[in-house]
């Protein structure tokens, strides 16, 4: 399954350290870096729709990017995702 941009943007594979598609059970895409402290969320845990930072246990809802309490003070950036055939398309800025 490929990951690429849509809406006329050129095909581009995502750098996993910056953006990360998540299937939980639908597809979502968020920034991969915690907004509280520099930590890769892909090194944390995903349970249901909550992803937990491995550094200070802050949690985000992957559907909305909403920080779910301390120590998170800034929400996580999210990106629209759609499925086209076998590709996951992500709307990046």
State pLDDT tens for residues 42-53: 888 888 888 899
In angstroms, the CA 65 to CA 91 distance is 15
pLDDT band at 76 (very low <50, low <70, confident <90, very high): very high
Mean pLDDT, the chain, as a whole number?
76
Which domains are assigned to the chain? 2-11+22-90 (2.102.10.10)
* Range scoring the smallest mean pLDDT among 5-9, 17-21, 42-46, 55-59: 5-9
pLDDT tens-digit map of 55-70: 988 999 988 999 998 9
For the sheet with 19-23, list strands across it.
19-23, 27-31, 78-79
Kindly list the distances between the CA atom of residue 62 and the CA atoms of 8, 68, 76, 85, 92, in Å, as whole numbers in the listed order.
Answer: 26, 11, 8, 23, 16
Q: pTM (2 decimals)?
A: 0.71
């Amino acid at each position: 399954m490929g990951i690429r941009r849509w809406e006329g943007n050129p095909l581009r594979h995502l750098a996993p350290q910056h953006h990360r598609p998540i299937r939980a059970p639908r597809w979502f895409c968020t920034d991969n870096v915690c907004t509280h402290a520099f930590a890769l969320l892909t090194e944390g845990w995903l349970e249901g729709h909550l992803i937990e930072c491995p550094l200070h246990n802050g949690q985000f809802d992957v559907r909305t990017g909403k920080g779910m309490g301390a120590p998170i003070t800034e929400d996580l950036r999210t990106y629209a995702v759609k499925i086209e055939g076998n590709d996951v398309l992500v709307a990046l800025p």
